Structure 1
Amino acid sequence: MDPRQARTRTALRAAIYELAAAQPITEVTVAQVARAAGITRDTFYRHATAPEGLLAAFLGEEIDALMAPMESLPASSGTELSVFDEPERQLLRHVARHAEIYRNAMTPRLTGPVRDTLVDRIEAGLLAHLERHAEIAPAAQPGIARERHFRLLVAYAGGGTVSAIEAWLREGDLSDVDAAARTIIAASPDWWLGRA
C-alpha cells in the first residue's frame, strides 16, 4: 500500500471510530466521515460504500489479528482450561476496548454489517479449528454430510457467542472480562473445549 493510501486508511479508521463512539452508527453519514478524515466523499467511496461497512471492515481487521493464534490451537489444552480460554478473553477485551462503538451499533442487536463481521470471523476460526481437529466433533446425524455437519456446529457456536456478547454489552459493566469469558465457555458443549 502506498504511503498516501495508508494515511487515508489511518484517517478513515480514526474518523469512523470517533464518530461511531459518539453516536449511533446508523446516524453517521458519509459527509461526517469524510469531513472528520479530511478527505473527499469520492475518496470515501473508494474505501467503502457506507459508514457501517467501513466500521465493520476496520473492526474485522482487528478481530482477524486476534483470531490468528487460533490457527495453532491444539485439540486439547492438557489442563482444566479450555483451548478457547485466551482467545475468548482476547475477543471480549476487544469488545470492551470499543464498548461505545459496539453499543452505538446496537438497535437492540448489533447492526447487520457489525454483527456479520463478528459472526463471520468467529465462525471462520472455529471452522478452521474443527477441520484441523475433526476428531473432537460429535458424530454427524444420518443424512448430514461432514461439511454441512461442521457448518451447523460452527454456526451454532458462533451465533451463540455473538448473542452472548450482545447481552454482555447491554448489561453495562464490561470490567468482568474473565467472568464473561468463563460464562460463555461454560455454555459451550464439552467436546468443543479441549479440556484434559
Structure 2
Amino acid sequence: MTTDPRPARSRTALIHAITDVLAQQTPDAVNITDIVKAAGVSRPTFYQHFADTTALTRAAALEKLTATFAAVDAQNLTPDAEGFTGRFTTALLTELRDDATFYRNVLKTAGDSALISELIGFLSDRLLNHSPFAAGVHSKTTEHESYAEFIAAGMSWSAMRWLCTDFTENNAPEAMAERLTAMVRAAAY
C-alpha cells in the first residue's frame, strides 16, 4: 500500500508560500486567499493542515529555523566547546540576519506563546543533544531538561531582541555570537 504524497506536497507548498510572502511583504498583507493561490491549493486544503495563518506562520518559522540549523551543522565546524560554539553561533546568526525580514514578520504575526514555547523546546533539545555544553547542563542539576529550557528561553529572548537591531558594530553577528556563547558557557559550567 502506497501513501498518498499529496498532503505532504500541499503542506510544503503552503509553508513555502507563507515563507515567500513574509520574506517580501509586511505581515498586514497576509491572507488565506493569497496564500492558497500562491501555493496552488484550495482553501479547504489549507484548513486540513492549519487552523489559521498564525499556525501556518509558526510552522514555517520552525521549519526554516530547523533548516538553518541543518545548514550550519553541515558546515562541519570543529567540535571543541570553545571554538565550535563561537563559530557555530556566528554562522547561525549570520543566517538569521540574512533572513531577518522573514523572522521579524513572523514575530509580528505569530510571535505568541505557542511559537515561543516551540522555539524554546527546539533550542533546549539542541542544547541537550547537539552541543558541547550538554555535559555541563547535565552536571548542573538533576532537572537538566528544565535547566536547558531556562537557558534556551534566555537565548531566545536575546536572539529575538537582536533580530530587531541594525546588525552593525555591537550588533554584528560576531559580537552577538560572542555574548551568547559567553552566557551559555556561564550557565552551563
**Partners of 2:20 and 2:36 in 1: CA distance:** 12
Count how many residue pairs are aligned between Structure 1 and Structure 2: 181
Matched, 1:168 2:162: yes
Query: Unaligned regions of 5+ residues in structure 1, if any?
Result: 141-145
Tell me the amino acid that sits aligned with residue 39 of structure 1: V
Partner of 1:46: 48
Q: CA deviation at 1:164?
A: 0.9
**Partners of 2:56 and 2:134 in 1: CA distance:** 34
Partner of 1:186: 182
How high is the TM-score relative to the length of structure 2? 0.73
**Partners of 1:163 and 1:136 in 2: CA distance:** 19
Are the counterparts in 2 of residues 19 and 28 from structure 1 also a CA contact under 8 Å?
yes
Partner of 1:98: 99
Are the counterparts in 2 of residues 63 and 91 from structure 1 also a CA contact under 8 Å?
no
Pairs within 5 Å for 1:24-173: 24=27, 28-67=30-69, 69=73, 77=80, 80-81=82-83, 83-107=84-108, 110-129=111-130, 133-134=134-135, 137-140=138-141, 146=142, 149-173=143-167
**Partners of 2:85 and 2:100 in 1: CA distance:** 22
User: Kindly tell me: are residues 73 and 159 of structure 1, through their superposed partners in 2, closer, same or farther at Cα, counting changes over 3 Å?
Assistant: farther
Q: 1:177 aligns with which of 168, 173, 184?
A: 173
Query: Unaligned regions of 5+ residues in structure 2, if any?
Result: none
Tell me the amino acid that sits aligned with residue 36 of structure 1: A
Cα RMSD (Å)? 3.6
How high is the TM-score relative to the length of structure 1? 0.71
Q: CA deviation at 1:10?
A: 4.3
Q: CA deviation at 1:123?
A: 1.0
Tell me the amino acid that sits aligned with residue 27 of structure 2: P
**Partners of 1:115 and 1:156 in 2: CA distance:** 12
Q: In proportion to residue count, which structure has more helix?
A: 2
**Partners of 2:50 and 2:109 in 1: CA distance:** 24
